[in-house]
A and B are shown apart, each in its own frame.
Chain A
Amino acid sequence: MSAVLEVRGLCKSFRGLKAVSDVSLTAEEGAITGMIGPNGAGKSTTFNMICGFYPPTSGQIFYRGRDITGLRAYQFADMGIARTFQIMKPLGNLTVLDNVASGAFFGRHKAKSLSQAREIAEGILEFTGLTARRDVLAREMGTPDQKRLEVARALATKPDMLFLDEAMAGLNPTETEDAIALIRRINEGGVTIFLIEHIMRAVVSLCGKVVVLHHGEKIAEGTPEQVMNDPYVMEVYLGKGAPNVKG
Chain B
Amino acid sequence: MFRTIFSSTFRRRAAAALALLVAVMLVLPLTLSGMPYIQNVFILAFYMTTMSLAWNLLGGMTGQNSIGHACFMGIGAYTSVLCVTQFGMNPWVSLPIAVLVTAVITGLVFSQCFILRGPYFTLVTIAFAEAVRQIILNWDFAGKAIGVGLPYVRGNNWLLFSFKDRAIYYYIAFAMMVGVYLIMKRIDNSRLGFALKTIREDEDVAAAIGIRPLKYKVIAVVISASVSAVAGFFYACYYRYIDPNIMLQSASVELVLPAIIGGSAFVEGPLVGGILMVSLSEYLRNTFGGILPGINLILYAVVLIVVIRFRPTGILGWYSHSAFRDFLEGRVLGRNMDKNGKEAQS
**Residue pair A91, B340 in contact (C-beta under 8 Å):** no
Answer yes or no: A63 CB below 8 A from chain B CBs.
no
- Shortest beta-carbon distance, B206 to chain A, in Å? 7
Query: Interface code A62-99, partner B: CB below 8 Å = 1, 0 otherwise?
Result: 00000000001111111000110100011111100010
A114 within 8 A of B: yes
A residues in contact with B339, CB < 8 Å: 135
Task: Check if A156 is an interface residue, CB within 8 A of chain B.
Answer: yes
Chain B contacts for A153, CB-based, 8 A: 205, 209
Contact (Cβ within 8 A) B205 A94: no
Chain A residues with CB under 8 Å of B197's CB are 91, 93-94, 98, 102
With known contacts A98-B194, A105-B191, A157–B201 Cβ distance under 8 A: no
Whether B194 contacts A101 by the Cβ 8 Å rule is yes
Question: What is the CB-to-nearest-CB distance from A229 to chain B, in angstroms, rounded to a whole number?
Answer: 36
Whether the Cβ atoms of B198 and A102 lie closer than 8 Å is: yes
Select A74's contact among B191, B201, B213, beta carbons within 8 Å.
Answer: B213
Interface residues of B, Cβ cutoff 8 Å to A: 189-191, 194-195, 197-198, 200-202, 204-213, 265, 339-340, 343
Minimal beta-carbon separation of A226 from chain B (angstroms) = 32
In chain A between 141 and 169, which residues have their CB closer than 8 angstroms to a CB of chain B? 153-154, 156-157
* Complexed CA–CA distance, A77 and B198 (Å): 15
Q: A220 vs B197: C-alpha distance in the bound complex, in angstroms?
A: 43
Sample of 15 more A-B contacts, CB < 8 Å, known A106-B191, A107-B209: A73-B204, A74-B207, A77-B208, A78-B210, A85-B205, A94-B197, A98-B194, A103-B209, A105-B191, A106-B211, A135-B339, A135-B343, A153-B209, A157-B209, A157-B210
Q: Which residues of A contact B201 (CB under 8 A)?
A: 89-94
B202 to A77, Cβ gap below 8 A?
Answer: no
Q: Which 4 A-B pairs have CB atoms at the shortest separation, nearest pair first? A: A77-B210, A73-B207, A91-B201, A106-B210
B110 CB to nearest A CB, Å: 19
In the bound complex, how far is the Cα of B339 from the Cα of A89, in angstroms? Answer: 25
Q: Is the CB of A51 within 8 A of B340?
A: no
CB of A74 within 8 A of CB of B206, answer yes
Chain A residues positioned under 8 Å from B205 (CB to CB) = 85, 89, 91, 153
Residues of A within 8 A of B204 (CB): 53, 73, 85, 89
In the complex, A111→B197 CA distance in Å? Answer: 16
Cβ contact within 8 Å between B208 and A82: yes
Q: How many Å lie between the Cα of A51 and that of B209 in the bound state?
A: 11
Q: Using Cβ atoms and an 8 Å threshold, which residues of chain A touch B206?
A: 74
With contacts A93-B201, A94-B201, A102-B194 known, is A82 near B209, CB below 8 A? yes
A–B Cβ pairs within 8 angstroms, 16 of them: A52-B207, A53-B207, A73-B204, A74-B206, A74-B213, A82-B209, A91-B202, A93-B197, A94-B197, A98-B197, A105-B195, A106-B191, A111-B191, A112-B191, A135-B339, A153-B205
Q: CA separation between A76 and B209, bound complex, in Å? A: 8
Any B CB within 8 A of the CB of A117: yes
Task: Report whether A106 and B209 are in contact in the complex, using a CB–CB cutoff of 8 Å.
Answer: yes
Query: How far apart are the CA atoms of A52 and B212 in the complex, in Å?
Result: 13
Q: How large is the interface on A (under 10, 10 to 19, 20 to 34, 35 or more residues)?
A: 35 or more
How far is it, in angstroms, between the C-alpha of A76 and the C-alpha of B201 when the chains are bound?
20
- Residues in A with CB closer than 8 Å to B210 are 74-78, 106-107, 157
Determine the distance from Cα of A157 to Cα of B208 in the docked complex, in whole angstroms.
Answer: 9
Contact B195 A106 (CB under 8 A): yes
For A102, what are the chain B residues with a Cβ–Cβ distance below 8 Å?
194, 197-198, 209
In the bound complex, do residue B265 and residue A74 qualify as a contact, i.e. CB atoms below 8 Å apart?
A: no
Interface centre among A77, A105, A117 (most CB of B within 10 A): A105
Please name all residues of chain B whose beta carbon is closer than 8 Å to the beta carbon of A51 when the two chains form the complex: 208
Residues of A within 8 Å of B191, CB to CB, are 105-106, 111-112, 117
Q: How far is the CA of A174 from the CA of B208 in the complex (A)?
A: 29
Supposing A73-B204, A85-B204, A92-B201 touch, asked if A156 and B194 sit within 8 A by C-beta, the answer is: no
Q: Is the CB of B198 within 8 A of A74?
A: no
Residues on the A chain within 8 Å of B213, using CB: 74
Query: A156: which B residues are within 8 A, CB to CB?
Result: 209
A73 and B340 contact, Cβ closer than 8 Å, known pairs A92-B201, A114-B190: no
Q: Which residues of A contact B200 (CB under 8 A)?
A: 93
Q: How far is the CA of A51 from the CA of B343 in the complex (A)?
A: 39
**Closest Cβ neighbor of B201 among chain A residues:** A91
CB distance from A75 to the nearest CB of B (A): 8
Q: Name the CB-closest residue of B to A110.
A: B191
* Shortest beta-carbon distance from A99 to chain B in Å: 9
Q: Is the CB of A74 within 8 A of B202?
A: no
**Nearest-neighbor residue (CB-CB) of B210 within chain A:** A77
Q: How does the 8 Å CB contact mask read for A25-53 relative to B, with 1 for contact and 0 for none?
A: 00000000000000000000000000111
A74 touches B212 (CB 8 A): yes
Whole-angstrom distance between the alpha carbons of A36 and B204 in the complex?
24
Measured between C-beta atoms, what is the minimum distance from A106 to chain B in Å? 4
Contact A114 B198 (CB under 8 A): no
- Asked if B190 and A93 sit within 8 Å, CB to CB, the answer is no
